[in-house]
Each structure stands twice: as C-alpha cells, then as structure tokens.
Structure 1
Amino acid sequence: MNTSPSSTEILETKQHFEILDGLRGIAAFAVVVFHFMEWIFTDPSQNFIGHGFLAVDFFFCLSGFVIGYAYDDRIAKMGLRNFFVSRIIRLHPLVVAGSILGLLAFLFDPFGGHLELYSTGKIILTFICSIFLIPFPVIADRGFNLFSFNAPAWSLFWEYIANIAYALVLYKVRKNYLMILTALAAFALCYVGYNSDNLLGGWSGPTFWDGCARISYSFLAGLLIYRSNWIIKNKLGFGGLTILLLLAFIMPSSEFNWLTEPLVVLFYFPLLVSLGAGAVLKPGLEKFCVFSGKISYPLYMTHYAALWMFGNYYTNYKPDEAQLALIVVASVILLVGFAYFVMVFYDIPLREYLKRKRKEKLSVRS
C-alpha cells in the first residue's frame, strides 16, 4: 500500500481570504510611500506616514495566520521537504529578481554612489549573499543593510526562519503552549521597543535581533489567531478595514513610540487580522482585492532599487516641493506598473514552470 502523499495533496491550494489579500496590498503600498518619505523627512515626527514601517509587522501576523490555515492540516502528510520546496517556489524568484535590480541600481545609478570604494570581489560576494538570503551588512553606501542590494529582503530572511521553525516545531505545538510562546515573544518585543525607543530595527547589522523579536511575536500571534479560530464576524468591509489599517501607519510619532508601537503590534494588528478574516467583501471589490494581494509581494521586493537612486537624486539636487511631489507620485505609479510587469512576465511564469516540473517528478515517484 502506497502511503506517500499524492501530487494533488502536495500541490493543493486553499481558498484565499480576499479582504486579507487586499489589506496586504494596501500595506505594501504604504511601505513604498514610507520609503520615499523617510528620505524627505529625516525627522519622523514630520512624516505623515512615519509609521509605515509597521506594515512589516502586519505582514508577519498575516503570514502566521495564512501559514497555519494553508498547512496545519497537511504538513505532516506532505513532509518537510515538500513544504520547503513549496515555500521556496513561492518566495524565492522575487528574492533573486530584487537582488538583480539592486545590483544594477548600485552599478549604474546616474545620481551618485561611490562604486570605486568597493572591490569587485566584495560586490560579487554581496550579490551572492543577497540571492541566498545570507545577511552581509558591509556596504556603507547602502546603509549597512543586511541585504545591501535589496533592503526589504531582511523581512524575507526572517520569514524563512519562521517557516523553518513552523515546519520543524510549531505545527506540532499545542494551543496552550503556543500561547506561552506568544506571551514570551511579546515580552521580547516590548523589550526591543523600550531598549531602542521604537520598533524600526531589524534591517541592519546592529539591529539584527530586533527583527527576530518582530517576526517571533507577530508570526506566533497570527498562528494563534488561526488555531483559536479568533475570527470576528463584522460588516466593516474592505473599505472600513483599509481605513483602520492606514490609521496605524499615519499614527503620529512621539517620545512614546517605545510604547505606542508595541501596543499596535501586540493588539491592533492581530485584531485587524481577526476582523479581516471575518469581514464580508462587498460585490465589485473582489477583483481589486485579488489584484492587491497578488501585486503586494512583487511590489515589496522590487521597489527599493529605485529608492536608492531617488535618495541620491534628492540629496544631490534638492528639488523643490512641486518637483518632489511630481517625482514621488509618478515614481510610485511607475513602481506599481513595474511590479505588475515583473509579476506577469517573470514571477508567475517561473513559478508555474517550477510547479509543473515538480508535479512531473511527483507523478513519476507515485
């Protein structure tokens, strides 16, 4: 009798929570705007979207919920290897694309940079580390980011770590123990907020372990929401939840960021995930939410190469407010369009090809 999982069981996908997909896209858009604004407003208190970076914590919470929903009832049957292959196919093509774009922006930035300061060997090594998600914060011109050629990849590194922890341990952890782990992670997050005065860290060498605290709490909280079925039925809809999500990102900065930011991550984002999972989507918004969800990851992983060029342009040429507004608005629109191009002509075809090849191998084995 053949007890190995079938290709259908391994490749199975589940129905999406469309409002949560839509909110993921809104969060990705907020990250892009925040990254432009942080170049312009070095004082966070002047930045109208000064807490846009908290979108990453929302992503982490969503990820915990979605991973639990998608794999809790089948990871034991499909096995570790198949789980990891599934996640790599889903996530890694855009890791590679973002690294290539970042390398090109570093080599051919028309507005500045100090390419002459870096040896060919260091550039090649940095690129290899970026492709394989090996933290290597050595490029001063890139702010000593963990991944100098694609800054947002720091969150993907921790996403991979969370996926490994889920596959090895968390999927077997009972709910009461999961609550204990989540509570411990909450204390770690609060410590990071208090010690650093905010939750902005995780992207650089000196703040490396801040990223661990951020993924630990939010991923566990999302998983706990799913396992506990904390889904709140409501009539807020996509529009109402979008407003609630954006309120977190435009929350004013203050001397109490060490307190307000952890509170948002600890309670507000899990509440939004629970509400998003239980909200009813009004007719006519399905296509937008589906598109928003699909474009979120390509947008997140491809936008930052342009940000370094924008930063060098802004620093060197100091455009006036009218020029700046035009540049930022046009750039955001173009980046969404470029992300769509990458998604349609690179990410989706490559993932479909990899899935097809994998299905053929699984069919031969079975």
Structure 2
Amino acid sequence: MIKSTNKHFEILDGLRGVAAIIVVLFHILEAFALGNRPDQIINHGYLAVDFFFVLSGFVIGYAYDNRWDKMTLTEFFKRRIIRLQPMVIIGSIIGAVTLYAQASPELFPLINDAPIWKVLVVMVIGFTMIPVGQSMDVRGWQEMYPLNGPGWTLFFEYIAYTVYAFILRKLPNIILIILAVIAGALLMHYAVTGERGDMAGGWALNETELKIGFIRLTYPFLSGLLLSRLMKPTHIKNAFLWCSLIMTVVLSVPRIGGEQIWMNGLYEGLVILIIFPLIVYIGANGEIKSNKTKKVAKFLGDISYPIYITHYPLIYLYTAWVFDEVLKGKASYEMAFVYGALTFILSILIAWVAVKFYDEPLRKWWSSKWLKRS
C-alpha cells in the first residue's frame, strides 16, 4: 500500500490525548453547571475541539500534500474512513445501549417516549456519520447525533477533508493565506459580537449551530494546513511539557469579563487564532528523548480519538444522575466526586480496550483489503 515517508509527530499525538482528557474532565464537571457557563469548571474545555481542527489541518496537509501523484481521491477517502469509522460505530452502539439508563425526564425529555425501533435507526444512521434532524431526536437536546453528541465534530472533519481533497490541496499558499485571514476575521467578529460571548456550539442541525460549526472549523483547519506548508523546522526543548502546560492553562481559565461577554469572546478568539497554531508549531518542532515520556505520549495518542468519541454516553449517564440525585439533595457531592472519578477511569478503560482489541485490528484488516499495495 502507499505509505508516507513523512515524519511522525509523537508530541502532537500526545497533545491530542492531553486535549481529549481535558474534554472528558470538562464534560464531567459540566454536569454541575447545566448550561450556566460562568459556573463551569475547566471553563474553556470546549475549545479543545478548535485545537483538534488546527491539528487536523496540519496533519492532513503534512501527510497528504506530497502524495497526490500516487494517490486517488478514492484512496484518500478510504484512508479517512478506515481511520475514523470504526470508533464512530462503537460510539453509536454504546450510546444506543446506554440510552434508556440515561433517562431523566426533566433533563432528557424524549428518552422515555423513544421507541426501540427509532433508537436502532438512529444508531445505524450514526454509523454512517449522516446527521439527523429534530424529527429523529431521541433525547431532546436537538443534537445531530443524539446517541453520541461529540459526533458533530467528525461531521465537520469530513467536510474539511472533502473540501481539502477537491479544492484546498490545489490552491497556492497565497490564496490559502487570504482565505485564512478572511476566516480569522469572521471568527473574531463572531467571538466578540456573538450573543453567547463564547465559541461553544455546532452540534445541532439548524442554521445557528451550523453557522457556529463552520466558523469554528474554517480558520483552524486552514491555519493548520498552512502551518504544514510554511513551517520552517527548528528544535524546541521540552516541547511536550510546555505545550501540555499551555493547553491545560488556556482551557482551564475561568470565564472572563462577567457581564462584558465580548471580553470572553475576545479571549477565545485569540486562543484559536494564535495560541493553538503556536502549540502545534512548538509540538511539531519538539522531540521526546525520555523513553518514559515517549510511552506516556504514545498512550495518550492511542486513546485520544477513541476516548473522545466513546466517552459521552457515560457523560449522559453521569449528568442524569447528578441532575436527579446530587442537585436535588438526594446524594452528596462526595459521592458525586467518587462517581465522577469512576466515570473518568471507565472512559479511559473503554477507550484503551476499544483501540487495542477492536479499532487497531479492524483498521489493519480494512487496510489490507481496501488500500493499494506498492
């Protein structure tokens, strides 16, 4: 099969894992905020999605820009499907299996009335990454993937891959720079003037959420793609440590500005425009010398995508329990901490088991059947 001789960025793999772990912690703690963003701990954890988009643009550009003389469009999309779809399927199955256990009439008003046939149809549709509208909602949160909410980011990833394969890969850098400047300006405009004062959103199949999703996708992906083309290799010491610290800090900063919501939007816009590409640049130019750190980065990289795409059904369960028991005084916050820790550990365990005993073997088998040999 066609293989890339490009460098493997083990630090970027590890950073993807760091961001994914922060997302899981963000979602666990989000159960106590219930949409009241100023109260959210690890307040800007949702911005990890924007980092993923930057990283995706960089990795796609670096891995594929120099291979189109040997690779067809079909081959490219096969590779993307092989990489992403196995875990998409597992995430959808876990979401379906646990759905009725997530039942909380106040929090998820549609679950108890959702017939099994409808849940199964939504699950199978979820296998394909085709989003569903409100008529197929089985939860009541208007998610385009109601069994596994984070699937919305994969929806936009596939859009980015398609635009890259048909258009962006052919464009000269100057055109990409112009497009990135325009996209960055639109992002900052929304961040500062938007009614929410933040960049959260993109998960529903309606005009407002789709607009947010495309705004969040376009600049980050273009900036990552440009970085893969324009980056001048250098060597940065302790890159993994510094990038992990920066990532943790910027995603954990409390909400900024109080009622002056534009200040929080400005912060988030600057993080996406400047900090995330900088993290990718530093990570791409670093090197891990310690064997122990290499193992940590590899482990984080291995579970990064699996934990992201499989953890949320557990979050639904935990959030429903917190809402019905803890916030109504039936259970203690000490018990919530214990259950939250168990949710975190179980999320990691499911991801590791899935990647080692399902994802990697299936991708290897699909690759042997689907991809060209050279």
TM-score, structure 1 as length reference: 0.91
Letter in 1 for 2:344: V
Corresponding residue of 1:280: 287
Aligned match of 2:275: 268
- How far is 1:299 from its partner? 0.3
Aligned to 1:24: 16
- For the aligned residue pairs, the C-alpha RMSD in angstroms reads 1.9
Q: Secondary structure at the match of 1:85?
A: helix
Aligned-partner Cα distance in 1 for 2:278–2:224: 10
The answer for the alignment partner of 2:190 in structure 1 is: 192
- The 3-state SS of whatever aligns with 2:253 is coil
Which residues of structure 1 form unaligned runs of 5+?
A: 1-6
Q: How does 1:12-91 map to 2 (within 5 A)?
A: 12=4, 14-42=6-34, 43-91=36-84
Query: What does the per-residue CA deviation read over 1:141-162, in whole Å, with 9 as the maximum and x for residues that have no partner?
Result: 2511111011111000000110
Between the aligned residues of both structures, percent identity stands at 36
CA shift for structure 1 position 347: 0.5
Q: Deviations over 1:79-100 (max 9, x none)?
A: 1010000110011111111111
Aligned to 1:4: none
Q: Check conservation: 2:78, 2:370, Cα contact below 8 A.
A: no
Letter of the 2:273 partner, please give it.
Answer: L
22-31 vs 113-122, greater mean Cα deviation = 113-122
Distance in 2, matches of 1:104 and 1:142, equals: 17
Q: 1:280-314: per-residue Cα shift (whole Å, max 9, x none)?
A: 32312111111111110000011011111111111
The alignment status of 1:115 with 2:111, answered yes or no, reads yes
**Matching residue's letter, 1:38:** E
Aligned partners of 1:275, 1:130: CA distance in 2, in Å? 36
Deviation at 1:198, TM superposition (A): 1.1
Partner of 1:234: 236
Give the structure 1 partner of residue 161 of structure 2. Answer: 163
Specify which of 327, 331, 341 is matched with residue 329 of structure 1. 341
2:103 and 2:111 in contact (8 A); partners too: no
1:245 aligned residue: 247
After TM superposition, the structure 1 stretch with the greater mean CA deviation from structure 2, 119-128 or 249-258, is 119-128
Q: Is the 8 A contact 1:137 1:148 kept in 2?
A: no
- AA matched with 2:355: M
* Distance apart, 1:110 and its partner CA: 6.8
1:13 Cα deviation from its structure 2 partner? 6.2
1:3: which partner in 2?
none
Change (3 A) 1:230 1:54: farther
CA deviation profile, 1:48-67 (whole Å, cap 9, x unmatched): 30100000101110111111
State the TM-score, normalized to the length of structure 2. Answer: 0.89
**Helix, strand or coil at the partner of 2:28:** helix
Is the CA contact 1:178–1:220 (under 8 Å) kept in the aligned structure 2?
Answer: yes
The C-alpha deviation readout for 1:314-360, integer Å capped at 9, x for no partner, is 1111132211111112210121011100111110111011011125x
Tell me which of 304, 325, 329 is aligned to 1:296.
304
Say which is worse superposed, 158-167 or 44-53, in terms of deviation: 44-53
Which residue of 1 is the match for residue 126 of structure 2? 130
Query: Would you say 1:358 and 2:350 are equivalent positions?
Result: no
Aligned residue for 1:75, secondary structure, equals: coil
Instruction: Return the offset for 1:217.
Output: 0.7
Contact 1:190/1:262, CA 8 A, preserved across alignment: yes
Partner amino acid, structure 1, of 2:345 = I
Q: CA deviation at 1:231?
A: 4.8
Distance 1:120 1:325 in 2: 33
In the other structure, the counterpart of 2:225 is 223
Give CA deviations for 1:259-289 in whole Å, capped at 9, x if unaligned.
1111100111011111111123231211111
- Give the gaps of 5 or more residues in structure 2: none
Amino acid corresponding to residue 87 of structure 1 in structure 2: R
Q: How does 1:252-263 map to 2 (within 5 A)?
A: 252-254=254-256, 255=261, 256-263=263-270
Quote the offset at 1:165 in angstroms. 0.7
For 1:140 and 1:67, the matched residues in 2 are separated by 34
| Residue deviations 1:236-260 (CA, integer Å, cap 9, x gap) | 3312221111111111212322211
SS of match in other structure, 1:151: coil
